[in-house]
Structure 1
């Protein structure tokens, strides 16, 4: 028998809840990193524009 087959319904439910909690946490981290990435890209774009203006002087 596999380990999963040996688990009770309560143990399986608990394991599934833990996995869902981990998935939710990972999704929240990904969303935060996407926002940070977008903000960084905007900052980089503005910095490049300022540098280009500086070089034109």
Structure 2
């Protein structure tokens, strides 16, 4: 009975940790989109080359 309980706890903790990591990854992705939208005024439709285009005229 003790071995079954230990395996049950291991499996449950693995599932809980997996779910927490998945939620954290989604949260990080949403935060990154929010920061991009805040700093660039638009969302993912900006290609990487356009982000520094306003700096070309300086210097």
TM-score by length of 2: 0.66
* Cα distance in 2, alignment partners of residues 27 and 35 from structure 1: 12
- 1:31 CA displacement: 0.3
Extract unaligned runs of 5+ from structure 2.
42-59
Partner of 2:34: 47
Matched length: 41
* TM-score normalised to structure 1 length: 0.69
Structure 1 segments (4+ residues) deviating >6 Å: none
Give distance in 1, aligned partners of 2:8 and 2:2. 10
**Alignment partners' CA distance in 2, 1:21 and 1:31:** 15
Unpaired runs of at least 5, structure 1: 1-13
Give the RMSD, CA atoms, in angstroms: 0.7
Larger radius of gyration: 1
Q: Which has the higher helix share?
A: 1
